[in-house]
């Protein structure tokens, strides 16, 4: 595919009061700090550092990394734009960058990288485990037993939509006739057929799945991968996870183990899916990657060469979730009708996005769809998580 790109669009900032990005910086980030503050018995030093982070984000400026930061981390963040943004308000730098850097500084505040008591302790782990251990998860996993009686194409669709929507609605809802219809209506773009066609090609097929959230959202991703292996749709899968805690609930290798243990301990079909995946990991048919760029505050257009080579070798790369979508197409004010293929022309191989809409950026919609959404009266259709998309560039 030619390396073309759409006309440049303004980068999304958080400097407009009342906008969704401004609300994340002004309201959500302090709430995240409070959640972490309340979840651990941190001492005065760590509590003070968390409080200082809230003040910095509200009224301060981006600061250099602390003196004790690892030299490799310093070098990475220098490449990722830190030197250019030091001294500027958090609201005046690209929103994607500001959000990502907030989570890097939060890890500093809790001592995640520093030698000591809290080194390597995930500050979001209590919330992740509470969600994974929610009794409702048992009902979702039990609903998998109903898959066996469905035609093959319906099983495919149920598990694909399970991964798409995450814990937006449980699997039992998705398997019901009414639930499936309502969710299809909520799709602003549905290229599912193109995705399946990519996996129908002859020869060895490798799926790269760039995961999003942990807990009850990672579980359906793992179920989808297990299903594709069992059905012979893919021969090998690579799971791309975050190398360290990020964006509250993004999945790390530790979260993968928690989800796998939850699956393998389940009864019935869910347990079988989990054990199949466990075996595939042991045999090397499923591998795990945690590349540093997975936590970069940059679009995938800026990915390093080694990651580009991995994606180029895949039959298809599937990027899950809203943050990965922002990084895939660029966190910019694209006209919604900007072709998805144009926005992803740089990507080194076939690529698919499975995304529930939770931020402003959007591409690949028809003019008819945009008009219907804007006339529908739901001003939050871009950000409220009520709509989703499956977009594919072959």
- The string of DSSP codes covering 117-143 is TTTT--TTHHHHHHHHT-HHHHHHHHG
User: Looking only at Cα atoms, what is the longest distance across the chain?
Assistant: 60
- The string of DSSP codes covering 8-58 is P-PBPBS-STTSHHHHIIIIIHHHHHHHHHHHS---HHHHHHHHHHHHHHH
d(CA 288, CA 280): 11
Residue 355 β-bridge partners: 389
Residues 294-334 have pLDDT tens digits of: 999 999 999 999 999 999 999 999 999 999 999 999 999 99
How high is the pLDDT of residue 149? 87
Contact in structure between 171 and 143 (CB atoms under 8 Å): yes
- The string of DSSP codes covering 49-110 is HHHHHHHHHHH-B--PPPTTS-HHHHHHHHHTTHHHHTTSBGGGSBHHHHHHHHHHHHHHHH
d(CA 14, CA 211): 26
* Structure confidence at residue 168 as a pLDDT band (50, 70, 90): low
Q: What is the mean pLDDT of residues 241-254?
A: 97
Instruction: Count how many residues are written for the chain.
Output: 394
pTM: 0.94
Residues 197-228 have pLDDT tens digits of: 999 988 899 999 999 999 989 999 999 999 99
Contact in structure between 290 and 242 (CB atoms under 8 Å): yes
Residue 173 has pLDDT above 80, yes or no: no
* Tokens at 96, concatenated: 């994607």
How high is the pLDDT of residue 334? 97
d(CA 46, CA 33): 11
User: What does DSSP say about strands 187-190 and 206-210: parallel, antiparallel, or unpaired?
Assistant: unpaired
How high is the pLDDT of residue 167? 55
Residue 169 has pLDDT above 80, yes or no: no
What are the residues whose beta carbons fall under 8 Å from the beta carbon of 248, sequence distance 6 or more? 32, 35, 103, 124, 127
273: nearest Cα among 282, 283, 260: 260
């Amino acid at each position: 595919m030619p390396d073309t790109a759409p006309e440049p669009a303004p980068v999304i900032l958080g400097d407009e009061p009342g906008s969704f990005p401004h609300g994340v910086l002004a309201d959500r980030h302090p709430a995240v700090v409070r959640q972490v503050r309340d979840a651990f018995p941190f001492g005065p030093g760590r509590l003070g550092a968390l409080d200082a982070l809230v003040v910095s984000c509200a009224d301060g400026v981006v600061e250099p990394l602390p003196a004790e930061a690892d030299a490799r981390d310093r070098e990475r963040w220098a490449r990722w734009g830190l030197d250019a943004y030091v001294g500027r308000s958090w609201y005046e730098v690209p929103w994607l960058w500001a959000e990502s850097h907030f989570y890097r500084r939060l890890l500093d505040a809790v001592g995640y990288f520093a030698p000591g008591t809290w080194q390597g302790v995930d500050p979001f782990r209590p919330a992740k485990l509470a969600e994974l251990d929610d009794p409702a998860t048992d009902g979702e996993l039990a609903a998998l037993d109903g898959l066996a009686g469905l035609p093959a194409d319906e099983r495919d669709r149920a598990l694909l939509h399970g991964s798409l929507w995450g814990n937006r609605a449980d699997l039992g809802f998705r398997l019901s006739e009414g639930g499936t219809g309502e969710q299809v209506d909520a799709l602003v773009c549905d290229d599912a057929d193109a995705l399946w066609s990519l996996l129908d090609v002859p020869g060895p097929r490798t799926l790269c799945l760039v995961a999003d959230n942990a807990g009850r959202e990672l579980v359906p991703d793992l179920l989808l991968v297990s299903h594709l292996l069992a059905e012979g749709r893919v021969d090998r899968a690579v799971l791309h996870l975050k190398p360290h805690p990020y964006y509250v609930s993004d999945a790390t290798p530790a979260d993968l183990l928690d989800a796998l243990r939850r699956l393998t301990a389940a009864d019935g079909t869910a347990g079988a899916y989990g054990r199949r995946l466990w075996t595939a990991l042991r045999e090397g048919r499923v591998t795990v990657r945690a590349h540093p760029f997975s936590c970069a505050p940059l679009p995938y257009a800026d990915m390093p060469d080694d990651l580009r080579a991995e994606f180029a070798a895949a039959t298809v790369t599937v990027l899950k979730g809203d943050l990965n979508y922002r990084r895939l197409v660029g966190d910019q004010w694209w006209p919604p009708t900007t072709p998805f293929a144009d926005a992803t022309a740089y990507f080194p191989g076939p690529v698919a996005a499975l995304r529930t809409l939770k931020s402003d950026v959007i591409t690949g919609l028809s003019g008819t769809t945009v008009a219907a959404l804007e006339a529908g009266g739901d001003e939050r259709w871009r950000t409220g998580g009520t709509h989703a998309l499956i977009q594919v560039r072959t």
